[in-house]
Amino acid sequence: MKEFTLIDHLEDLDAESKYLVHKAKEAALHAYAPYSKFMVGAAALLDNGKVVTGTNQENAAYPSGMCAERVVLYALSAQYPEQKIVRLAVAARRKNGKDLVPATSCGPCRQVMLEFEGKQADPFKVVMLGPDNRWVVASSAESLLPFSFSKSNLEHGHNTSGHE
């Protein structure tokens, strides 16, 4: 199974990814990022066809802030608890900047993606702009976090594979 596809230009992404990147980029305009000025948007497509967006939310007490990816994941889980995620896109821009800048998801966001993937028992694709301005399309959240800690560790502490 191919875990990542790297694509040089936004126009060359599949239609669904392009649309979600567009929604994420649009959402990023309204990010609350007065400290970093690094505006991030995330957009998730659900299997009922709904698109849910989120943005990063900063706080004067820095650790109280939250990344766009987790904002959107928690929001969709609260609003559509029964729906599965099909695809998630992330897009970032600097305040007053027009172009997208590379922003690959942080570790804790990947961990939360993995939890959601486990919960829905189906992988979802993750699209983000990586180094050298190349689009990364990951085939699953799991592929973004090898050797991870998950539900299976708690259920089968003796299982060294991390899988059932």
Q: Which residues bind Zn ion (CB under 5 A)?
A: 67, 106, 109
Cβ closest to Zn ion, residue 73 vs residue 109: 109
**Cβ of residue 123: shortest distance to Zn ion, in angstroms?**
19
- The owner of tokens 């896109």 is 89
The distance of Cα 78 from the centroid of its chain, to the nearest Å, equals 17
Q: Identify whether 69 is a catalytic site residue.
A: yes
Cβ closest to Zn ion, residue 62 vs residue 157: 62
Choose, from 69, 115, 142, 155, the residue flagged as catalytic: 69
**Cβ of residue 84: shortest distance to Zn ion, in angstroms?**
21
**Cβ of residue 9: shortest distance to Zn ion, in angstroms?**
25
Cβ closest to Zn ion, residue 47 vs residue 140: 140
Backbone angles phi, psi at 143, to 5 degrees: -65, -20
| Angle at CA of residue 30, ends 81 and 140, nearest 5° | 45
Give CA–CA dist 29/52, Å, rounded.
Answer: 15
Tokens read off for 117: 């993937």
- Catalytic residue numbers read 69
